[in-house]
Structure 1
Amino acid sequence: MKKIMLLLLIGTSFVIAKGKLNIIDINKAEELYKGKKTLFIDARPYKKYQIGTIMGSVNITPKLYEEQKRFLPINRIANIVTYCGGYACKLSDKIAAKLQKAGYKNVFVYKGGYPEWKAKGKPTMGLVRKSKAQTGPYKPTLDPITVNGVQLYLLPEDGEANEDGLVDQFWLYGQMKDGKNPPKGVHIVDTRKAKQYNAEHIKGATNAPFDTKKETMDTSKFPKDGIIVLHCNSGVVSVDARRSIKDEELKKRVFIYDISYVCDKKNKNCKLTPNEAL
Structure 2
Amino acid sequence: MKLRVFASSVIVAGLLLSGCTTQPEATGSTPSAKVLTEPTAHVKGLIEKFKLENVDYAYVKAAIGNGTRDGAKALLIDARPNPKYLASTIPSSINIPDTQIDKFIGQLDKVAKDKEIIVFCGGWDCEKSPIVAGHLKSKGFMNVKLYQAGEPEWISKNYPEIGLPAVQALFKNNSAVFMDARPYAKYMAGTIPGAVYMSDEEIDKLKGRLPADKATPIVSFCEGYSCAKSHNLAKKLQEFGYQKISVYAGGYPEWKEAGQQTTAGGAKKVETAPAPKKDAFVEGIKLGEDEGTVDGEWYKALIVSDKIPANVAVIDVRTAGEFANGHIKGAINIEAGKMSATEFAAKLPKGKVVIMNCSAGGRSMEAFLKLKDAKVDVSKIFYFDANIKCDKSGKCDIKVNEPLG
TM bracket (short chain): 0.5 to 0.7
Over 3 Å counting, the alpha-carbon distance change for 1:210 and 1:72 in structure 2 is: farther
Q: Which one-letter code corresponds to 1:145 in the other structure?
A: F
Over 3 Å counting, the alpha-carbon distance change for 1:23 and 1:263 in structure 2 is: closer
| 8 Å CA contact 2:345, 2:376 repeated in 1 | no
| Matches of 1:224 and 1:218, distance apart in 2 | 12
Q: Which one-letter code corresponds to 1:72 in the other structure?
A: H
Residue matched to 2:232 = 73
Residue matched to 1:144 = 280
Please state how far the C-alpha of 1:121 moved relative to its aligned partner.
Answer: 5.6
Residue matched to 1:268 = 393
| Matches of 2:327 and 2:347, distance apart in 1 | 18
Over 3 Å counting, the alpha-carbon distance change for 1:205 and 1:121 in structure 2 is: farther
Which residue among 306, 326, 339 is the counterpart of 1:200? 326
| 8 Å CA contact 1:191, 1:209 repeated in 2 | yes
Over 3 Å counting, the alpha-carbon distance change for 1:144 and 1:59 in structure 2 is: same
> Does residue 1:22 correspond to 2:174, yes or no?
no
Please state how far the C-alpha of 1:151 moved relative to its aligned partner.
Answer: 2.1
| Matches of 1:232 and 1:142, distance apart in 2 | 28
> Does residue 1:236 correspond to 2:358, yes or no?
no
Q: Which one-letter code corresponds to 2:361 in the other structure?
A: G
Please state how far the C-alpha of 1:169 moved relative to its aligned partner.
Answer: 0.8
Over 3 Å counting, the alpha-carbon distance change for 1:219 and 1:33 in structure 2 is: same
Residue matched to 1:220 = 346
| Matches of 2:228 and 2:200, distance apart in 1 | 23
Please state how far the C-alpha of 1:249 moved relative to its aligned partner.
Answer: 4.3
Please state how far the C-alpha of 1:206 moved relative to its aligned partner.
Answer: 0.3
Residue matched to 2:375 = 248
| 8 Å CA contact 1:40, 1:57 repeated in 2 | no
> Does residue 1:59 correspond to 2:225, yes or no?
yes
Aligned with 2:366: secondary structure? helix
| Matches of 1:34 and 1:121, distance apart in 2 | 23
| 8 Å CA contact 1:142, 1:153 repeated in 2 | no
| Matches of 1:191 and 1:174, distance apart in 2 | 21
After TM superposition, where is structure 1 displaced by more than 6 Å over at least 4 residues in a row? 33-36, 68-71
| 8 Å CA contact 1:21, 1:97 repeated in 2 | no
Q: Which one-letter code corresponds to 1:117 in the other structure?
A: T
Q: Gaps spanning 5+ residues in structure 1: where?
A: 1-15, 42-55, 61-67, 80-95, 100-108, 123-139, 157-161
Residue matched to 1:154 = 287
Give the aligned CA root-mean-square deviation in angstroms: 4.4
Please state how far the C-alpha of 1:77 moved relative to its aligned partner.
Answer: 4.0
Which residue among 224, 235, 246 is the counterpart of 1:98? 246
Which residue among 110, 114, 117 is the counterpart of 2:262? 117
Aligned with 2:377: secondary structure? helix
Over 3 Å counting, the alpha-carbon distance change for 1:231 and 1:269 in structure 2 is: closer
The structure, 1 or 2, with the larger RCO (C-alpha pairs under 8 Å, 6+ apart) is: 1
Q: Which one-letter code corresponds to 1:144 in the other structure?
A: A
Which structure's residues are more often helix, by fraction? 2
Residue matched to 1:52 = none
Over 3 Å counting, the alpha-carbon distance change for 1:218 and 1:78 in structure 2 is: farther
Q: TM-score, normalised by structure 1?
A: 0.52
Aligned with 1:255: secondary structure? strand
Residue matched to 1:32 = 197
| 8 Å CA contact 2:327, 2:396 repeated in 1 | no
| 8 Å CA contact 1:142, 1:154 repeated in 2 | no
Q: TM-score, normalised by structure 2?
A: 0.37
| Matches of 1:205 and 1:275, distance apart in 2 | 18
Over 3 Å counting, the alpha-carbon distance change for 1:69 and 1:229 in structure 2 is: closer
Which structure's residues are more often strand, by fraction? 1
- Whose Rg is larger? 2
How many pairs are equivalent? 185
Residue matched to 1:3 = none
Please state how far the C-alpha of 1:35 moved relative to its aligned partner.
Answer: 11
| Matches of 1:227 and 1:176, distance apart in 2 | 15
> Does residue 1:209 correspond to 2:331, yes or no?
no
**Deviations 1:82-125 (Å, cap 9, x if unpaired)?**
xxxxxxxxxxxxxx7435xxxxxxxxx99xx5321176269xxx
Please state how far the C-alpha of 1:250 moved relative to its aligned partner.
Answer: 2.8
| 8 Å CA contact 1:58, 1:71 repeated in 2 | no
Over 3 Å counting, the alpha-carbon distance change for 1:119 and 1:74 in structure 2 is: closer
Please state how far the C-alpha of 1:168 moved relative to its aligned partner.
Answer: 0.6
Please state how far the C-alpha of 1:241 moved relative to its aligned partner.
Answer: 1.3
Residue matched to 1:177 = 304
**Deviations 1:115-164 (Å, cap 9, x if unpaired)?**
21176269xxxxxxxxxxxxxxxxx9642222xxx1222222xxxxx22x
Aligned with 1:251: secondary structure? coil
